[in-house]
Structure 1
Amino acid sequence: MIIDNDLLDKLAYLCRLELPPHERDTMLHDLNAMVDWVKQLDELDVDNNIVLEASAKLESTSLRPDVASNLLSHEQALTLAPSSDSNYFRVPAVKGITAHTDLADPS
């Protein structure tokens, strides 16, 4: 697969990118280099059992149990927070959002 100017235009449109003319050649070169690098994966021999043996070794190792420990109470967590308000953590506002919105009601 070779990325040409037409495909680059389609990709830029899909990604909502505006590519200045002076960056197009660099972008084409970089994208084609990435595609060439991924093509190298076709050269890998994936029919052997090396991958299966490696995954079996991972499964056989003993891992610690996934158990919650050292739990903080809600009040303890709020006292450790940089900023809190009543029963909630206070975080900086997200740029462009000025009020709380109800996610359950998209209207």
Structure 2
Amino acid sequence: MSVTKDDVQYVANLARLQLTDEEAENFKEDMNDILGYIDQLNELDTEDVEPLEHVTEITASKFREDEAKEPISHDDALKNAPDADSDYFRVPRVIE
């Protein structure tokens, strides 16, 4: 499978990106290199390889115990807020 410049422009359009012709050409080359590498990986015999949950061994002792604690009070939660209004954080409006 080979990626064309039209494929790159299609994906860029889906991502709402505007690419110059030079950028599209560079991305085309990069994407073809990535697909070539994936083809190399697909040639490997992985028949006897078991799937991993983690790349390294993780033992349960590395995790902290899950302990219930008292919730933080409203005053403590709002203590470091840049702006607060009684029981709430005050944030700038983002929707008009």
TM-score scaled by length of structure 1? 0.63
Question: 4+ residue runs of structure 1 moved beyond 4 angstroms?
Answer: none
Give RMSD over aligned pairs: 2.9
Question: What displacement does 1:31 show?
Answer: 1.6
Offset at residue 73 of structure 1 (A): 0.6
Unaligned runs of 5+ in 1: 99-107
Q: Is residue 5–residue 25 contact of structure 2 (8 Å, CA) maintained in 1? A: no
Distance (whole Å) between structure 2 residues aligned to residue 2 and residue 84 of structure 1: 55
Bigger fraction of residues in helix: 1
CA positional deviation for 1:84: 0.7
State the aligned residue count.
93
Identical aligned residues as a percent: 34
Q: Distance in 2 between matches of 1:46 and 1:93?
A: 55
Aligned 1:1-107 pairs, distance under 5 A: 1-42=1-42, 43=44, 45=46, 47-49=48-50, 51=52, 57-58=57-58, 60-62=59-61, 63-69=63-69, 71-94=71-94, 97-98=95-96
